[in-house]
């Protein structure tokens, strides 16, 4: 057994305590596993232990936070722990950012020492390491409010993440573009004719001609379909966690609760989906909902991943058959984006389009116009001009 350390008077010293060459006493400690050593000093051992007691009380009371002596990781953990009742996908996003920061030396730095230039240099490093603009945006979406919390509580004097990402990192993300009429015709024609993927044609029609979020589509039950009034009720969405647990949650925003009109194509596609829906001996009940419209091969409700995979596999086959085709990468959200663009191009009132899309802010809906090309804009402008001419002729006549 190792001999216990003692001071010059023969008194046993505790872990972290030591007597210096000038006979004064020292205690060293860490506030975190990978943190720097902190030191306190005293003339006598009794005085040192009084200071040790104060330090321990401070640590137990969380004074390290109020003094700004915690790490970036610890700040994020504190911030995330306060986010109760958030959606599953939001939790996944928080955990992704936390895991990323834990891999960075920046994560082990003391928050009170972080300057704006430090934060900017870190983002530059992430970009050089191959992290995309969207990933860095996600990181900032968690780190910035965490530091803002510390600033609001007077823990730090400035939020070091109060700067535009584009000031230090180029926005090299690929903007999601809506499909043109020709691309829609090409893709849907391929799906309809293909022996393997034609069974998904009606699902794709509903998504493309309603603009529903894919998780809203998966959440539809038979009772949500009103064929008499030709409308679809959307007031929830279906989610499945990575561990396999299903649950129903509210739509992405309160504005997400809405009715969507059925076009003739959607009407007939939904009828066919119902006619081809496998008979189930016992319908699965999820948070009070049952009779889900879309079922997988195991008679369980489909989730977003199922439809994403359907499109991915179909696209893989299409690329193999037509390697020189300019058709863009297609996802359920591209369908939603395309629907919004189609309706805007056709002149649907922006507030009505906002309702159909389930957007909480009309600004989100208006962003669709950035994806209209010259031909679409010219065509819509021509319709407006012709309409005004017709109205003027009526008045003169």
Residues with a catalytic annotation lie at: 213, 252, 333, 336, 359, 369
Closest CA to 53 of 27, 72, 76: 27
State whether residue 238 is helix, strand or coil.
strand
Quick one: 111 exposed, middle or buried, by C-beta within 10 A (0-12, 13-18, 19+)? buried
User: In whole angstroms, what is the distance from residue 159 CA to residue 5 CA?
Assistant: 45
CB atoms within 10 A of CB 272: 13
User: In whole angstroms, what is the distance from residue 389 CA to residue 383 CA?
Assistant: 10
User: In whole angstroms, what is the distance from residue 27 CA to residue 310 CA?
Assistant: 63
Burial 124-139 (b: 16+ CB within 10 A, else e): eebbeeebebebbebb
C-beta separation of 72 from 149 below 8 A: no
User: In whole angstroms, what is the distance from residue 33 CA to residue 37 CA?
Assistant: 10
| Contacts with 150 (C-beta within 8 Å, 6 or more apart), sequence order | 65, 68, 75, 111, 156, 159
User: In whole angstroms, what is the distance from residue 12 CA to residue 7 CA?
Assistant: 7
Closest CA to 93 of 59, 135, 51, 39: 135
C-beta separation of 111 from 72 below 8 A: yes
Rounded to 10°, the helix 133-152/88-102 angle is 90
∠389-393-397 over CA atoms, to 5°?
Answer: 175
Q: Which residues pair with 71 in a beta bridge?
A: 110
């Amino acid at each position: 057994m190792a001999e216990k350390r003692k001071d010059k008077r023969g008194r046993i010293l505790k872990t972290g305590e030591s007597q210096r060459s000038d006979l004064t006493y020292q205690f060293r400690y860490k506030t975190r596993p990978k943190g720097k050593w902190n030191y306190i000093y005293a003339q006598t051992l009794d005085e040192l232990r009084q200071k040790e007691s104060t330090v321990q009380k401070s640590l137990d009371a969380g004074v390290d936070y109020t003094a700004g002596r915690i790490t970036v990781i610890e700040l994020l953990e504190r911030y995330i722990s306060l986010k109760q009742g958030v959606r599953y996908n939001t939790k996944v996003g928080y955990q992704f950012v936390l895991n990323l920061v834990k891999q960075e030396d920046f994560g082990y730095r003391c928050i009170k020492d972080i300057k704006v230039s430090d934060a900017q240099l870190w983002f530059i490093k992430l970009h050089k390491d191959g992290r995309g603009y969207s990933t860095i945006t996600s990181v900032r979406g968690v780190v910035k409010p965490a530091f803002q919390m510390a600033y609001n509580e007077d823990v730090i004097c400035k939020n070091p993440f109060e700067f535009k990402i584009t000031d230090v990192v180029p926005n090299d993300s690929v903007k999601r573009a809506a499909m043109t009429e020709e691309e829609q015709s090409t893709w849907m024609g391929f799906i309809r004719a293909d022996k393997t993927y034609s069974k998904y044609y009606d699902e794709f029609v509903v998504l493309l001609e309603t603009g529903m979020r894919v998780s809203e589509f998966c959440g539809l039950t038979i009772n949500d379909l009103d064929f008499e009034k030709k409308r679809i009720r959307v007031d929830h969405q279906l989610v499945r966690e990575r561990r396999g647990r299903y649950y129903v949650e509210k739509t992405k925003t309160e504005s997400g609760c809405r009715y969507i009109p059925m076009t003739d194509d959607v009407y007939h596609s939904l009828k066919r989906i119902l006619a081809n829906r496998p008979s189930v001996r016992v319908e699965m009940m999820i948070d009070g909902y049952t009779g889900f419209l879309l079922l997988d091969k195991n008679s369980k409700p489909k989730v977003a991943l199922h439809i994403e995979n359907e499109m991915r596999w179909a696209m893989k086959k299409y690329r193999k058959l037509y390697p020189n085709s300019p058709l863009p990468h297609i996802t359920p959200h591209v369908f939603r984006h395309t629907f919004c663009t189609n309706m805007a191009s056709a002149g649907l009132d922006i507030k009505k389009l906002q309702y159909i899309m389930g957007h909480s802010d009309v600004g989100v809906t208006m962003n669709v116009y950035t994806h209209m090309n010259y031909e679409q804009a010219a065509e819509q402008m021509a319709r407006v001009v012709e309409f005004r001419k017709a109205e003027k002729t009526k008045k003169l006549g």
